[in-house]
Amino acid sequence: MSAGPRSAAVMARAQAVMPGGVSSPVRAFRAVGGTPLVLRSGSGAEVEDADGRRYVDFVCSWGPLILGHAPSEVVEAIAAAATRGTSFGAPTEVEVELAEYLTSAYPGLEQVRFVSSGTEATMSAIRVARGATGRDRIVKFAGCYHGHADHLLVSAGSGLVTFGRPSSAGVPAGFARETIVLPLDDEERLRELLRREGDTIAAVIIEPVPANNGLLLQRPAFLRTLREETRRAGTLLIFDEVISGFRVGRGGAAAHYGITPDLATFGKVIGGGLPVGAFGGRRDLMQHLAPLGGVYQAGTLSGNAIAMTAGLTTLRILERDDGWARLEETGAALEAALQPVLAAAPVPAQLVRLGSVFWMALQEGEPPRAADAIHAAAADRYRPVFHALLDRGIALAPSAYEAGFLSLAHTPAHIACLRDALREAFDKATDGTLACGTQADGAMSGGVSAGASATATRDDPATLRRGHVDRGEVLRFGGNACDFHTLAGRSADGTEHVLGHKEALVLRYLAEREGQVVWRDDLLEAVWGDEALPSSRAVDALVIQLRRRFEPDPRTPRFIRDVRGVGYRFTTAPDGVA
């Protein structure tokens, strides 16, 4: 399973007018097969596709959404900024405020310039390094991605010191020859190169948290050696923190590892979900940049006030709400939840994590630290797992080599969703049935489409593992609020049903607010009515009302009383629901 009929139709249109139907290649699902989901909305930790299916999102727009989708404070700040003007092409106070925040938080960052993407940021930082040193050559590491500038789309050749070769059509070989590619996690080759040829090398660029080709966490000793040897050679050290900057912590990987680079690049989180990049470093280096120096860089939308507002609001919320500590707690909870599942998996599997960034390495041995240590079989193992999770309402990246991300919107319930879905996916792998299934329209797999029914028996552990509901029978719903994936019940005529995602979401909202709840048939009546499972329209309407009423203050007791008092019957749209 990949896409429903609406997503498939939109993608068919897209392929006629856009290369591959996408604006960035990994979105095309070529690495996992199938047709991509077309998303239409996101809220908190969940997204909804064009067919009305909801998923717990662990992609988070590839990292920027550290607060989750559409956080109200950020959305309100964006809306307010837009009313003042969408673009000026002139200095604004908010870009100064964001620059002041970044330089106060990141080690060694004295000045910063804003651009509109991570690619622009890394390209510009390298230009500054070349202009400041008067040298042309740069060093990058295999397995690190720094955007699609020509001199960075380079793969390693053979030999002791590998001179780059283009890894993309359209990149002149002469550009690539100025780039040297080294392996990660190899101090000896790094030291040998820099001591022999360091005086010809402008900069070494590295993702200090390599997260574009797996999550290749580096030993602190390797990063310290890199800092020592570049300083010895007079070569500038550039940390590409487009992913890790202000995600792994307030001061990014530089603060985490206690290493100060000469230049650094940023993106993703600092834009709060809008297109933003930045590069900066020591004042004496940034003085080479126009209009002060001879290194030219410009951009029409650089420092766009709306994007600056989104980024600054996001960072202030993280600061105010102790966001990075909370994300570490969520990451630790994810690790604790998934490790037993991965340990028991029928294929080699382990979790690699730093803060709110994680990756499932589906291979044996120690977690890889270099690109050539990633087993080719890992991608084949990931493909069916990805689709099995998607069938169960879990959205991971459509590539075995892309990292996952957590946000402040992810709750223990969302982590439990991933844990349980992953266990079920591996259970299917054990009996040889792990494959791409289909998901009923309008509902998550594990349920049925709204307005339909599915029969089950009490002894069926796949559907009744978490609990069973009879008319008049007590339902205990507590502990794991994600149990809605396998919750089942019996309607008035005795037919057993598996709850779809949205119907069960109603129970989840109710149950989460009263803890260890005992629901009797009056509340079962409120969810089902007498005749059948609820209609999709009715459930959508109630979920909207519940969210509006509940989310501003999760502690309000009126929320539960109102739901009980109205006694919704889901055969038609409930009264009073917009």
Which H helix or E strand runs over 404?
A: strand 404-405
Interior CA angle at 450 toward 394 and 60, to 5°?
A: 25
* CA pair distance 164, 174, nearest whole angstrom: 10
Per-residue b or e along 74-102, where b marks 16 or more CB atoms closer than 10 Å to that residue's CB: beebbeebeeeeeeeeeebebbeebbebb
109 by DSSP, 3-state: which? Answer: coil
> Does the N-terminal peptide bond of residue 208 adopt cis geometry, omega within 30 degrees of 0?
no
Q: What is the DSSP string of 213-251?
A: SS--PPPHHHHHHHHHHHHHHT-EEEEEETTTTTTSSTT
**Distance of alpha carbon 105 from the chain centroid:** 23
Residues 6+ apart with CB under 8 A from 24: none
CB 122 within 8 A of CB 147: yes
307 token code pair: 């994007």
Q: Which residues pair with 138 in a beta bridge?
A: 179, 203
Q: Phi-psi region for residue 60, left (φ > 0), alpha (ψ -120 to 50) or beta?
A: left
Q: Which of 398, 420, 410, 430 is nearest to 326 (CA)?
A: 410
Q: Phi-psi region for residue 355, left (φ > 0), alpha (ψ -120 to 50) or beta?
A: left
CB 316 within 8 A of CB 269: no
Which sequence positions are flagged as catalytic?
145, 240, 268
* CA pair distance 479, 413, nearest whole angstrom: 9
* CA pair distance 386, 479, nearest whole angstrom: 27
**Is the Cα dihedral 381, 382, 383, 389 positive or negative?**
positive
* CA pair distance 29, 34, nearest whole angstrom: 6
- Find tokens 């609001």 and name the residue: 313
Report the chain's C-alpha Rg in angstroms: 26
212 token code pair: 């574009």
- Find tokens 């709840």 and name the residue: 517
* CA pair distance 452, 499, nearest whole angstrom: 10
Give the single-character DSSP code of 161.
Answer: S
